[in-house]
Amino acid sequence: MGWELLVVGFVAGLVIATVTAPVGVSGAVFLLPVQLDVLRVPSPAVTPTNLLFNVVSGPGALLRYRAQGQRPGSLTRLMLWGTLPGVLAGALVRVYLVPDVGTFRLVAAAVLLPIGVWLIWRTVRNTNDGASRQTSDGAGPHVAPSRRFILVAGLVVGVVGGVYGIGGGSILAPILVARGLSVVAVAPAALASTFVTSVVGALAFGVLALRTDGAVAPEWVLGLACGLGGLLGGYLGARWSRRLPERALTVLLGVAACGLAVLYGIQGLR
């Protein structure tokens, strides 16, 4: 692979992680189409390559959040009870069943678009109403999702992350925020869950590559280049998050979800 593509991968990882880290999204979900359409990573190797990006880039944002006093805590552990078995199942599905990518993109678009629109609408409505139904930190009413809901959502997201190498935070974060959790709490927890899930997923693909023919192993050099860009971008994005109020972060997460839904919808219809 030429150095030009490595530079493109580094810059893509840097820009994407800077924008997505403040809301708990690793950026792999936006990097996936770049790898497929620009960098031409073969399938299914694109999945572990994306997971490798998460592994390398994740510590940047997590270390910055830790320095700011925002620690993942018990929410991350609860997520992992669902995402870890999910990512193992997803890896097996990706290698042996090879589901249709177009169908997944349409399903993801159908899930993310209404969530993103609802997050934006709720924030704008509460701002116009004087935030009368908001708590003092602007995080929304204290109606936290149940442990069962988080476990089931984590399991589903883990399977999706294992199949498509997106980690899952980009889907899980807006769902949890839409159910009443604060972006400030969700962001570090979602990134930590994505990091651990990606480590396990990448190892699973490594084992499967030893027993399976074809492009199963990740593109190591490209994954590292994208990840190094994401490492720097994640640190900058997490630092930038402290400059934005909760409502702005919620709107940013909603816009990211809507943008991803539109992107996947267009690609799924091709």
Query: Domain locations in the chain?
Result: 3-269
| 175 in Cβ contact with 190 (< 8 Å) | no
Q: How confident is the model over 42-89, as pLDDT tens digits? A: 767 777 888 889 899 888 888 888 887 877 778 888 899 988 998 888
Q: What is the pLDDT of residue 155?
A: 92
**Tens place of pLDDT per residue across the chain (270 aa):** 678 889 999 999 998 888 877 777 777 777 877 887 788 887 677 778 888 898 998 888 888 888 878 777 788 888 999 889 988 888 888 777 765 566 667 766 776 788 788 778 877 776 665 544 444 444 444 467 888 999 999 998 888 878 777 777 777 888 888 788 888 888 888 888 888 988 988 888 888 877 776 666 778 899 899 999 999 988 888 887 777 776 777 787 788 778 878 877 887 787
Contact between 79 and 190 under an 8 Å Cβ cutoff? The reply is yes
Residue 244, classified by CB atoms within 10 Å of its CB into exposed (0-12), middle (13-18) or buried (19+), is middle
Q: Is 92 helix (H, G, I), strand (E, B) or coil?
A: helix
CA 141/CA 177 separation, integer angstroms:
11
Please tell me the chain's helix, strand, coil percentages from 3-state DSSP, rounded to the nearest 5: 75, 0, 25
CB of 212 closer than 8 Å to CB of 95? yes
How far apart are alpha carbons 35 and 12 in whole angstroms?
A: 10
Assign 17 to helix, strand or coil.
helix
- The residue among 161, 165, 150 whose CA lies nearest residue 52 is 165
